Structure 1
Amino acid sequence: MSPVAREKRILETLVTLADTLVDDFDVASLFDDLVQRCTTVIDAADVGIVLGDSHGELMMMAASSPRLLSAEEIQLSKNSGPCIDAIHSGQVIRAGSLDEIAQRWPAFATVMRGSGYHSLHTVPLRLRSTVLGAMNFFRDSDGELGNSDAQVAHAIADIAAIGLMQERSVRESAIARKQLEHALASRIVVEQAKGIVSNSYDVTMEVAWALLRQRARSHQARVTDVARGVINGAIKI
């Protein structure tokens, strides 16, 4: 690829990532496309992405080829490897030879050798103090990633982290909104049931509320479920 074509491809990749900051997107599809793009603009044979979920469990999110799978899976199963170190430390991890890799992560080095890889460069997906995962760049030759390629890899990882944080924020906001809507709907149901009990037994709303709670406790049910039963006539207080 010519330098001009490479620069164009880099810009296209960055623009695609930037679009995630202002629009809805599917994380899996985005990262599947991203790892493929990275192999065309960065001196790496394969690229993989590992992410952590809300409980801290790590999972492989994208891989540029099946050849990469065993190298990523051994890290997750052994909880040892450059990806794990990058996520835990928040720092870039470099290893320019199989000998260096073997000294640091023996089991991982065995899989690397079997897969034909010789060196690697791992960049944390990090936004300030929050590490969301890591991008792993696997190379078929010895030597660390060049400065130009490393800068591109870091820029892509930084924007990907921002996009991922944006997606999680939107998703969490949607969950919070649904929870609020559910709480408001439950409150309306309870108020309607209180009104029915108050009118049926000629008692105050406070007494009606106490009767609903008493019924719920005695039957080990939720007040909202008792209220719905009162409204549809299935429950008599």
Structure 2
Amino acid sequence: MFLENLAETFVELADTLVADFDPVEFMHLLADRCVATLEVDAAGILLVDHHGELQVVGASSDRARLIELFELQHRQGPCMECYLTGEPVTVAGFTEAPQRWPEFSAVAKDAGFGALHALPMRLREQTVGALNLFSVEEGALSEPTLRVAQAMADVATIGLLQAQVISHRELLAGQLQRALQSRVLIEQAKGVLAERLQIDISTAFETLRRYARSHNDYLSTVAADVIAGTIDVAALTAVTEARPATRHPRP
């Protein structure tokens, strides 16, 4: 079952790597697949923007996203260290880490996590971010599991840096900037949807994703339409989860 799930994961990740793939949806797919495939309870992704600052671009849960935001705001923690050094960082138990990252460790423990693994997203000498895996139970992941996780991070990095033969830095900056701009739209749309349908933020986000997938559309495009009021909000709840074979986004 593990090998079947793993194979499906890499097929789905590779299938998403088209010339104009949606980087925000791709990062969320990666985070979700990490949770589904690996022995972890949550995942988060940090990427560097065109100003050289790390940003949270994907997360499998609100808890993971908030912890990542806290780390960036306080500029301390294993994920930040992983990005800066380009090397994996393992925290097998937050009871062992207070001396290095006291505030981050306390917040992670309060959120219910016992361990964290941060893996660099890099291609050769260029590190573009970090893939962060959270576990409720303390203890380090097995070496085979970490190798699979690093391979998933590598696939994601290659996707972000595809076509880099000509000018990979410009391509990366453009993709990441679009991802961050899309993130703002998505957060606004989540709030609009939560208010109109009287649902929580997590449910609002999943509703947006289901609608985007069922209509073969970009998540950011759907979010913009929700904000503009050009989508019947009630119709968003009528769609069912469906993975499109081919994406044909609106122009």
Deviation at 1:166, TM superposition (A): 1.4
Q: Give a deviation string over 1:100-136, Cα, whole Å, max 9, x none.
A: 2212210100101110000110001000110000000
Q: Which amino acid aligns with 2:61?
A: S
Q: Deviations over 1:42-87 (max 9, x none)?
A: 1111000010012101110011011112211111001111111011
Unpaired runs of 5+ residues, structure 1, are 177-237
- Say if 1:95 and 1:101, in contact at 8 Å, map to a contact too: yes
Cα distance between partner residues in 1 of 2:6 and 2:48: 26
Conserved? CA contact 1:123–1:154, under 8 Å: yes
- Give the alignment's TM-score, normalised by structure 1: 0.67
1:148 to 144, 167, 173: 144
Is the CA contact 2:58–2:65 (under 8 Å) kept in the aligned structure 1? no
1:85 to 81, 86, 90: 81
Please, which moves more after superposition, 139-148 or 10-19? Answer: 10-19
1:56 paired to 2:52: yes
- State the alpha-carbon separation in 1 of the partners of residues 65 and 19 from structure 2: 30
Q: Which runs of 5+ in 2 are unaligned?
A: 175-251
Q: Which residue of 2 aligns with 1:135?
A: 131
Task: Indicate the SS of the match to 2:129.
Answer: strand
The superposition leaves residues 179-218 of structure 1 with CA deviations (integer Å, 9 ceiling, x where unpaired) of xxxxxxxxxxxxxxxxxxxxxxxxxxxxxxxxxxxxxxxx
**Is the aligned partner of 1:158 residue 2:157?**
no
What is the CA distance between 1:92 and its match in structure 2? Answer: 0.3
Question: 1:168-187 maps to which residues of 2 (within 5 A)?
Answer: 172=170
Amino acid aligned to 1:94: T
| Map of 1:47 onto structure 2 | 43
1:124 to 97, 120, 137: 120
1:47–1:137 contact (8 Å) kept in structure 2: yes
- Whole-Å Cα distance in 2 between the matches of residues 85 and 110 of structure 1? 17
* Alignment check: 8 A CA contact 1:47 1:64 kept: yes
TM-score by length of 2: 0.64
SS at match of 2:97: helix
Aligned to 1:7: 3
Matched position secondary structure for 2:161: helix
Contact 1:83/1:136 (<8 A) preserved: yes
Kindly state the Cα deviation for residue 17 of structure 1 after the two structures are TM-superposed: 2.5
Rounded Cα–Cα distance in structure 1 between residues aligned with 2:96 and 2:150: 22
Is the 8 Å Cα contact of residues 30 and 156 (structure 2) preserved in structure 1?
no
Tell me how far apart the structure 2 counterparts of residues 123 and 80 of structure 1 sit (CA, whole Å): 16
CA contact (8 A) 2:116 2:135 kept: yes
- Pick aligned residue for 2:91 from 82, 89, 95: 95
More helix per residue: 1
Partner of 1:223: none
CA distance in 2, matches of 1:172, 1:126: 16
